[in-house]
Every structure is written in structure tokens, then in C-alpha cells.
Amino acid sequence: MNPHHILDGLNAPQLEAVTLPDVSALILAGAGSGKTRVLTTRIAWLIQTGRIGPGGVMAVTFTNKAAREMLTRISAMLPINTRGMWVGTFHGLCNRLLRAHFREAALPQSFQILDSQDQLALVKRVMKANGLDDEKYPPRQAQWFINANKDAGLRPSRVDPADEFERRFRDVYEAYDRQCQHEGVVDFAELLLRCHELLSRNEILREHYRARFRHILVDEFQDTNKLQYAWLKLLAGRDSCVFAVGDDDQSVYRFRGAEPGNMRQFEHEFATDHVIKLEQNYRSHGNILDAANALISHNQARLGKNLWTAEGKGEPLRVFEAASDAQEAAYIVDEVRSLRAEGVNLADVALLYRSNAQSRVLEHALFGAGIPYRVYGGLRFFERQEIKHALAYLRLIANAEDDGAFLRVVNFPTRGIGARSVEALQEIARTHGSSLWHAACANPPGGKAGSSIAAFVRLIDGMRTAVAGLPLQEIVESVVEGSSLKDHYRTEKEGAERIENLDELVNAAAAFSAEEIYDPQQPEGGMVDPDDPLSALNAFLAHAALEAGEHQAGAGQDALQLMTAHSAKGLEFHSVFISGLEEGLFPHENSLNELDGLEEERRLMYVALTRARRRLYLTFAQSRMLHGQVRYNLASRFFQELPPALMKRVNAPAARAAGYNPFTGASPRAAFENTVSYAGNPWRVGQNVTHPKFGAGVIVNAEGRGSDARVQVNFREAGLKWLALEYAKLSAA
């Protein structure tokens, strides 16, 4: 057998990386440059040339899927048994090491690993045992505090609380640590921390593994956090060779603790003379890569590389400017149909967005068009936990006898109604043959639980009274606020996205009201009476249930892929749509207030661009429903960072006022300087008006026509606001 057959087909930089001598090296592997091939071929080459045996290699990945793929490729290249090789995730390898040295790690031999839900349950038990109010000190926030400090390598004794709130959480952390040790359990963050501590204090063990693993290979190095890097440095002895593969331009997980600066530190601390750049891309056409290179060049803190391809330039990037988010979704649906007609499988088409909340409008359009789709790495909009909770409150407003809705929210957010109390209430309901609501009103259990149930009944009754006679959108908005769901999710580390989704539910109600909706519960699907809010609410709830349950792509069915830009990392598709490219959305408005936040957003856009092989669509909307109001948008600044020659504008909406440049953010000039009209009603500059939410004001500007007509009003209390006449409900003063 030719010992070098495994090197066949490698390009020059790949070959250089694979055949490096026994030294540490940093491999800058651009998107689509074959980094997995380089990693696995490096391992195979080390083994085949006798530099190391299979048991002397450690390869670290971030997902079990990546680890399995590496082992499969090695097996295909070499006639060896890979089962005993140390190839796995950080957590998997730490678990393996701790199992082998459980005594030295002060763990029972059969220690159990807590998943996230198990960990939260234990945190709650510890807090209850210590008499902490879980409303004042939310358990999820305590869980995040514990994990964040573990990821930073800090035990409770080393945590320096900034205030009384953090001091309480430090006490919870300390009590939680003791309870875990007592029960012989560890959480995911503990696996890495415990392993790091073991190697730090046990020199004999540390030197044993340093001698054994002379070659350590790390995938996705840009995603390592502080503790993971410290663990790697402990394992790497004087004679160890660390082969770090990563792409600082694709570091998009700072919110999870990833430190892109680890790559620069590695280059310095390991004195790497070898920094090899893998820049030839085997995925995308040239125009896509040129756009990605131009965009990412605006980031200052990067190691630098430039993707290129031997393929042709391909098609220009298609840019679509929509008048509204609904029009944007309609365009995407039409293009998906065209791609399908060209023979492109739906599974090879991805629809990307910055925020999960954006998927609701897109899903609605796909649902209406009968196009099957899957939400990758997440739930469809109406299946998300926070949405189902909000819908359960709405179902109780519409029908108090709905036991399923009652059970879902009677103790969510937590209000001191435990499982035993609910079981007691269910028994009362069975005995009297009534609903849970009726039992709660007429025969509630005694004691504290009974008082809590009575308070819940008052809450629902109060919300039902408050929304009586309101239009659908305001019913949903009122119930979302009154349920305290937003207050609950504000205490979660990643609760901001759930709150965005709740706001999007309000938008969904507004959009639903604006359509010609039909109530499936009425004979022959009669149209909903717009003057009967309860009828509209029932129709909306039926609509939500249908969209949650219909058009779900079955296993093996060809389906469009919907996902956030974060979820798309590591994937590739024939065609990619990047939607919602507007200032404040992508880049996200939060990034402007964070250190290096804009650079991270740009890296995320770079990831999104480089997912496409052949065709790339960039879409944005002049107006978008956010927080129950129409928001008018400027195109994302990223358009200004992409070479105009690479982009093809596929439309120039008539709704845009003359002189308005969406890419530069130039101020629009009113298409009609004095008046606009909607549904036959004229509105003029200088006219006094009133708005149900903002009060009295004066129209100071107006533009557009028909359903795109809008006015700018200077309100006495709320100041200047642009309002779409289709939704604004203005009245002349």
C-alpha cells in the first residue's frame, strides 16, 4: 500500500498542514476550505507514518456529530479500530477521564450527569431548602450564575459578588455544590471544571496524560471559552504538539462564553512558527466569496485571510426591497417556487433570519402557499413554549372550561401552586363532574394553595374584564402583559428572545385582524364579525392551532429549511435567503451597545453569506411589525459594505418615495407633499388628529398611497411618529 495515498487530492496549503513536523500550529481554515478533511487526514498521516499510535492522539470537537464524522473518515482511510481513540467533545472527553480517575476526582464510580432540566430542579430544591423567594431570586438566573462562574473556572469561594443579589446567588452556588457532592452528581459545566482541577493538583496524572497525548488536535478553536483553553494548556506538555484549527471570522458564540481572542493567545503562548491559511473554498461561487471577503474586511480584530475559488464567478447576489415584511415573505415564497421548478430540492434551500421572532411571518406565508418546511434547531413559532403559555391564557379568557389551558398556566409563572394542590383540585373536579375552573371557583382546596388558586382565578377574571370590547390585537397585548410572562422571561439569561416572540404574537394578531379571516367554528366558515372581539379571538386561536399542526414536514419529506443565522453555522445549501437585513435587526440593535458587538454581528453575516453554494438572496423591508406597531426601517449597513457590482437589485418599489436611497439612509422626500389618502379618506399636513394610544397630535408629513400610505404625526405626549394609515386608527380631531 502506498503510505501517502491518503494525501492524494490535497491542495498545497492542506498538504503543508497535514504533513507538518512535530510542532504546534495554528490552521486558519476559511469557510468551505476542507478543514474536517485536513484534521482527519492529519490524524491518519500521523498514525500511518508511525509518529504516534491511535491511542496517542486526542482530538477535541464541539459536537458529537463532528466527532462521529471524524472517526468514520479515519476508519475509511486506515485499517484500524477507532473505537478506543480519544476523539470527542470537551465534555465527553472530560467525562471519560473522570470515570477513569473517579477516586482522585472525589466522585463515586457511578456518578450521574445532570442535564439542564435536572440541574434546574436541583437548584430549585436547594433554594427552597434555604428559604429563598424564587420570585425575588429566579432559579433560572441562579442556574445561569452557577454555570457562568464554572465556565470561568471559579468555585463559590472565589466568586466576588458585586451586590447583595449576587451574594445570595453565591450562597446558592455553595449550597448547590455541597448537594451535588452529597448526591454524587455533576452538571455539564462541572465535568470540565472538575477535570481541570484534577489535572491542576495531580502532577503525576497530568504528566501521564501529557506523555500519552503528544498530539492534540482541536476543531473550531475560535469557539473555545476561557476554561476550555486553560484545560488544553494543562494537557499540553513541553513536548506536546497542539494542532489548532479554526476561523476567527466565524466566531459567533461570544454570548455562550466563546473567546475569539484565544486564537491570538494560542499563537503567542505556543510560539507557533506555523500559521497556515486554508483559503481555497470548495463550496461557493466567486461572487458570494468576494462579497463575504469585502464585508469581513471591515472588522479590525482579525487574523486575516481571503477566500477564493477555482469555480466561476456565478450569479450576482439578488437584492429585494419589500414595502413590508409580508411582501418580503411573499417574494421569498415566489422564489422558492421558482427554484423548485428549476429542479432544486427544497431541502437544499435555506431561509435565514437574525431573530427567531421573524419566522412567524415567513411561516405564515409558507403555510398559506402549502410549502413544507422545517425549523432547524428549534420549534415552529406557534409551538414555542412562551407562545403556548400565552395562548393558554388567551384560551382561558375565551373559554374558562378549557382544562388543558388551565393546567398549563395555573402555576406559570410560579405562584406557589404545587403538583399536590393541582392533583387535589383535579380530584374535586372529578367528584363534582366539573371543570377545573369551576372547581377552583366553587370548591378550592384549603390552606395556602387554596389562596394561591383563588388569586389565579382573580387574575384571569380581571384580564377577561380588562379586554372586554377591545380589538383582537389589544386583547393579545393586554393578556401578554397581564400574565407576567414577560416579567418571568426577563429573569432568564436568554429570555430576550422569548420576549421578542411574545411581541411577535401581538404582531400576528394584528396581521390576522387585517386579513379577511374566517371562523372555522361558524357554519360554512362564515367570516368573523369584526365587531365581536370574542369571535375574532376564537378564530385566531383556531388559526394558531392549525399553523402549529399542519404542513409539518414528515421524516424524509423534501422541505425548506428555516433557521437563525447562528444555527446555520457549519451547514451549506444550493440557495440561501437572508431576510430582515435592516438596521436594528441585522445588525441587531443590542450589538451597538456591546463591546465589539458590531464586529460579532458582521461575523454572523459572514457566516450567513458563506452558507450559499450557487444562489444568494438578500431581502429587507421598508416597514415591519414590531411590538404591535409598524416600524419603518433603513437598510442594513452591511449593504454599504458589499461591493455594488456584486449585487443585482431585482426591484425598485413604487411605494418608496422619490429620492430615497435605502442603502445610504438618505431622508425620504414625500411623494405627496400635502395629502395622502387611504380607503378614500384624505389626510393633509397640518391636520389635527387623535390616536387611541398616543393621544392628540398634528400631521407634519405624509407619503405613499393606498395600503402603503403613511403619515408623520407630532403627538403632544409621544413626540414624532410615522404611522401606517392601514393600521393607525387615526381620527380627525
* Beta strand 560-564 pairing with 349-353: parallel
Cβ neighbors of 247 (< 8 A, separation 6 or more) are: 28, 29, 30, 31, 35, 222
> Helix, strand or coil for residue 683?
strand
Q: 334: closest CA among 645, 613, 619?
A: 619
Q: 513541553: which residue's cell?
A: 238
Predicted pLDDT of residue 427: 86
114 pLDDT tier (thresholds 50, 70, 90)? confident
Predicted pLDDT of residue 660: 42
Show the cell assigned to 137.
Answer: 431570586
* Beta strand 57-61 pairing with 86-89: parallel
The active-site residue out of 89, 250, 358, 564 is 250
Predicted pLDDT of residue 157: 94
Residue 713 has pLDDT above 90, yes or no: no
Predicted pLDDT of residue 547: 66
What distance in Å separates the CA atoms of residue 150 and residue 228, rounded to the nearest whole number? Answer: 11
* Strands lying side by side in the sheet with 688-691: 719-724, 710-715, 695-703, 688-691, 731-732
Active site annotation includes 519: no
**pLDDT (average), residues 596-608:** 94
Most confident of 494-508, 645-659, 688-702: 494-508
Q: 507514518: which residue's cell?
A: 49
Cβ neighbors of 220 (< 8 A, separation 6 or more) are: 61, 62, 66, 245, 246
> Comparing 68-77, 326-335, 544-553, which segment has the lowest mean pLDDT?
544-553
- Tens-place pLDDT, residues 308-366: 999 999 999 999 999 999 999 999 999 999 999 999 999 999 999 998 889 889 999 99
- Per this entry, what is the length of the chain? 733
Active site annotation includes 503: no
Secondary structure of 331-378 as H, E, C letters: HHHHHHHHHHHCCCCHHHEEEEECCHHHHHHHHHHHHHHCCCEEECCC
> Mean pLDDT over all residues of the chain?
85
**pLDDT (average), residues 547-571:** 77
Which stretches of 550-689 are DSSP H helices?
Answer: 597-609
In one-letter notation, the amino acid at residue 471 is P
Predicted pLDDT of residue 673: 37
**pLDDT (average), residues 162-174:** 92
678 pLDDT tier (thresholds 50, 70, 90)? low
* Beta strand 688-691 pairing with 731-732: antiparallel
- Tens-place pLDDT, residues 527-536: 455 555 567 8
Active site annotation includes 35: yes
Give the CB-side neighbour count of residue 45, counting CA atoms within 13 A.
Answer: 21
Predicted pLDDT of residue 669: 32
Predicted pLDDT of residue 277: 95
1 pLDDT tier (thresholds 50, 70, 90)? very low
Residue 666 has pLDDT above 60, yes or no: no
> Comparing 159-163, 177-181, 359-363, 397-401, which segment has the lowest mean pLDDT?
397-401
Q: 3: closest CA among 40, 47, 66?
A: 47
Residue 728 has pLDDT above 60, yes or no: yes
The active-site residue out of 35, 283, 305, 380 is 35
Show the cell assigned to 339.
Answer: 427554484
What distance in Å separates the CA atoms of residue 212 and residue 215, rounded to the nearest whole number? Answer: 9
Residue 169 has pLDDT above 90, yes or no: yes
**pLDDT (average), residues 153-158:** 94
Most confident of 54-68, 437-451, 570-584: 570-584
The active-site residue out of 190, 219, 386, 477 is 219
Q: 722: closest CA among 702, 708, 704, 706?
A: 702
Q: What are the Cα distances from residue 505, in Å, to 357, 389, 641?
A: 9, 11, 33
654 pLDDT tier (thresholds 50, 70, 90)? very low
Please state, as a whole number, how many other Cβ atoms lie within 10 Å of the Cβ of residue 354: 24
Listing DSSP states for 284-331 in one string gives S-HHHHHHHHHHHTT-SS------B-SS---PPEEEEEEEEHHHHHHH
Residue 233 has pLDDT above 90, yes or no: yes
Active site annotation includes 610: no
- Tens-place pLDDT, residues 35-65: 999 999 999 999 999 999 999 999 999 888 8
Residue 665 has pLDDT above 50, yes or no: no
Q: Model's pTM, two decimal places?
A: 0.75
- Tens-place pLDDT, residues 458-484: 999 999 999 888 888 889 999 999 999
Active site annotation includes 611: yes
Q: Give the residues across from 113 on adjacent strands.
A: 186
The active-site residue out of 611, 613, 615, 721 is 611
Active site annotation includes 272: no
Residue 175 has pLDDT above 90, yes or no: yes
The active-site residue out of 220, 223, 247, 583 is 220
Predicted pLDDT of residue 579: 97
Compare 285 and 668 and report the one with higher pLDDT.
Answer: 285
Predicted pLDDT of residue 531: 54
**pLDDT (average), residues 164-191:** 91
Residue 655 has pLDDT above 60, yes or no: no
Residue 563 has pLDDT above 80, yes or no: yes
Residue 556 has pLDDT above 60, yes or no: yes
Residue 671 has pLDDT above 50, yes or no: no
List the Cα angle 419/423/429 in 5-degree steps.
145
- Tens-place pLDDT, residues 250-260: 988 887 788 88
Predicted pLDDT of residue 534: 64
Predicted pLDDT of residue 679: 64
Residue 524, sorted as left (phi over 0), alpha (psi -120 to 50) or beta, turns out to be: left
Show the cell assigned to 404.
Answer: 388543558
In one-letter notation, the amino acid at residue 552 is Q
Q: 686: closest CA among 732, 723, 724, 630?
A: 732
**pLDDT (average), residues 160-182:** 92
